[in-house]
Amino acid sequence: MARPPAYTRNYSFSNFETNNPGQPKPGVQLDTEYDNVSVAMTGTQAALALIQRDDGRLANGSVGVDQLVPGLFEDVADAIIAAAAIEANRAANYAQSAANSANS
């Protein structure tokens, strides 16, 4: 889906009021402005529905690898590898301690 249309005001009701005090507002211009606002809002809501669930969270499948920060997976992997190395060293120390105890 393309970006929703932006709303751009096409008629100055302030200028009309200044130049035509006491006159009724121009209905055609009001309808046109309301229609333009409606189109912009409807497009925005439709686009939002593509990425947001009813509970306000991101829609399933709306975020892919392209939206993630470059290097994210490497950072996660590095953190996991570092944590695993600590646990592996701890296990090796326990194993060595158990071997020493068994030899005694």
Instruction: Give the whole-number percent of the chain exceeding pLDDT 90.
Output: 74
- Give the residue extent of every domain in the chain: 1-62, 64-104
Q: Please write the tens of the pLDDT for every residue from 59-104.
A: 999 888 888 888 888 888 999 999 999 999 999 999 999 999 888 8
The pTM score is 0.58
CA distances from 71 to 27, 66, 81 (A): 56, 11, 15
